[in-house]
Structure formats: structure tokens, C-alpha cells
Amino acid sequence: DKPLSIYIFSENVQDRNRIIENTSCGGICVNDTMAHVAVEALPFGGVGPSGMGSYHGKYSFDTFVHKKSCLTKDFNPIGEKLAASRYPPYSESKLSFLSTLLKKRQGINLHFLPYVLMFGIGVASTLIVSTLLKRRMK
């Protein structure tokens, strides 16, 4: 009645949209399987018998206005080449690449920002001084 996930394999956008808009489910993954579970930005959970969300406060509201996750794979040649490591046979290089991709990322490291700013100020100062000297020579 209300599945936890629906997997659609189609390059026809109208067919995909018709299914996405007219079904009630936990999540949808287009042209792939299980990849939507790995995307931390997408909610994962069911609707109705396939699993209810959380309750109390804001979570109650979120439960009753379920956000349906939808991941679409577009068969981009570069993306397909990068994603090829997901499929067997697995080698050490494939496993190393996968573990690098799946590492939890921290935010942008800003420890180098003062150096970049100082470099930018130096370049700007050099340009301003050279422009002023050229004007003075004329």
C-alpha cells in the first residue's frame, strides 16, 4: 500500500514524474538502488505501515507532512565512471576510493583564510601602487 522505497528505472521524465507525484511512499530512487539511503541530506523513513516518523513538537509536524526523498541518476558519463567502483568485482583501489567517498566530511577548513586574505591584499596593493606610479610618470 505505502512502500518504504520505490525504485524507478526510466529515462522518460514524464513517466518518472507521474510516478513520483502520484505515489505515497517513504522515498524514491530513480535509475539506481539504495543510493538515497547514503545521502545524508535526504530524509529516510516510511509512511503508514512501512514506518512512522518521530513525534513531539516539530517532529510531529514533520511526521504528518512527510518529505519524500527523491534521488535521480542521469547517466552522466563522468558520474557513471566515478560510480563504477560501487559494482563488483572489488579491488583494493575500488575499496579505497569508496571509503574516501563515504568518509564523513567536516565543514570547510578556514585555517588558511588569513593567508589568502593577506595574499589578496598584497596583490591589490601592488596593482594600486603600479597604477599610481604610471600615472605620476605621465
Within-domain flag for 108: no
Q: Which domain holds residue 20?
A: 5-64
pLDDT of residue 18: 96
In this prediction, residues 24-51 reach a mean pLDDT of 79
Within-domain flag for 33: yes
Are the beta carbons of 41 and 1 closer than 8 angstroms? Answer: no
Question: Is the per-residue pLDDT at 54 higher than 60?
Answer: no
Within-domain flag for 130: no
Q: Say whether both 18 and 53 belong to one domain.
A: yes
Within-domain flag for 37: yes
Are the beta carbons of 70 and 27 closer than 8 angstroms? Answer: yes
77-116 confidence digits (pLDDT tens): 887 887 888 888 989 988 888 888 778 777 777 788 888 9
Specify burial of residue 47 (Cβ count, 10 A radius: 0-12, 13-18, 19+): buried
Q: Which of 6, 25, 23, 17 is nearest to 66 (CA)?
A: 25
Report pTM. 0.48
Q: Say whether both 11 and 53 belong to one domain.
A: yes
Q: Say whether both 49 and 28 belong to one domain.
A: yes
